[in-house]
Amino acid sequence: MTRHFLVEQIRLKRSYLCVGLDTDITKIPHHLLADADPVFAFNKAIIDATKDICVAYKINTAFYEALGVKGWEAMEKTVRYIGDDHFKIADAKRGDIGNTADQYAKAFFETLPFDAITVAPYMGEDSVKPFLQHKGKWAIVLGLTSNKGAADFELLHTGGEFLYEKVLETVSVWGNTDNLMFVIGATQAAEFANIRKLTPHHFYLVPGVGAQGGSLKEISEQALIKDIGILVNVSRGIIYASHGEDFADKAREAAGEYQLEMAGYVR
């Protein structure tokens, strides 16, 4: 998916909401467990309920890989069901030497029709570049994450700057604003103004709003740019809004509340 098309969808829907399909089979409504593929049945219902008010879906591959072949099949059915009008993110956090990274890129961009994959930059340029060689596809590189452990390395001072700042400055020139995004956690609101100075035109994938306590208002005020430039991911707060048979309706209600607030920030 091109940046132009993504921005068009954001403006059309007045939404930069990404719904996280981090589907844990132990948390889906019990009545779905009788289905031949309960994970896909759950995802399909969530997608049908939210597709007109979000612009992206993020699939955390760990929840599917943990189920073996059946989980992988559910993931593939899910990403194909989403279709081409939504930005499809594989939250796989890959990062390995060049020839291995190339195979990961083929897996998620050719075998599977994802538009983007999250990437860990620790091993350097040759571990990221293979994800940037596919037309219309994106690498979403970990920048400053929302977890407590971000303080262990990302917020270390190195030569007068935080390590995450060095990462943003270095990685930003490996690709461009049409194929490279950064993960910036919503719980790091105090750093957003600085992050925007370092990467003024890049899109950010922003997890951490909702269950992790990040503020949509704060993030929107500090990170939005002329063509929006952010995708705010919400997972548990939407997909587990109810554990009953009304789970899809409640997911739509929760997603709608986020979209309504976002509409007020879209110019």
| pLDDT band of 193, cuts 50, 70, 90 | confident
**CA separation for the pair 47, 136 (Å, rounded):** 23
Query: What pLDDT, on the 0 to 100 scale, is given for residue 3?
Result: 96
DSSP output for 115-153: SEEEE--TT-HHHHGGGGSSTT-EEEEEEE-SSTTHHHH
**CA separation for the pair 187, 214 (Å, rounded):** 5
Of 3-17, 155-169, 238-252, the range with the lowest mean pLDDT is: 155-169
Of 70, 93, 129, 250, which is the active-site residue?
93
| Mean pLDDT along residues 227-232 | 95
| Three-class SS state of 166 | helix
Residue 93 known to be catalytic: yes
Query: What pLDDT, on the 0 to 100 scale, is given for residue 211?
Result: 64
Number of domains in the chain: 1
Query: What pLDDT, on the 0 to 100 scale, is given for residue 157?
Result: 87
Query: What pLDDT, on the 0 to 100 scale, is given for residue 153?
Result: 86
| Mean pLDDT along residues 8-13 | 96
Alpha helix (H) ranges present in 54-191?
62-65, 69-82, 98-106, 125-128, 150-153, 163-171
Based on its alpha-carbon atoms, the radius of gyration of the chain, rounded to whole angstroms, reads 18
Tell me which residue range forms the domain holding 204: 3-263
For residue 144, give both structure tokens: 């400053």
Query: What pLDDT, on the 0 to 100 scale, is given for residue 254?
Result: 96
Which CATH number covers residue 97? 3.20.20.70
**CA separation for the pair 190, 183 (Å, rounded):** 15
Query: What pLDDT, on the 0 to 100 scale, is given for residue 149?
Result: 84
Residues 135-180 pLDDT 10s:
999 999 999 987 888 888 887 888 888 888 999 999 999 999 999 9
Q: What's the mean per-residue pLDDT of the chain? A: 93
Residues 31-75 pLDDT 10s:
999 999 999 999 999 999 999 999 999 999 999 999 999 999 999
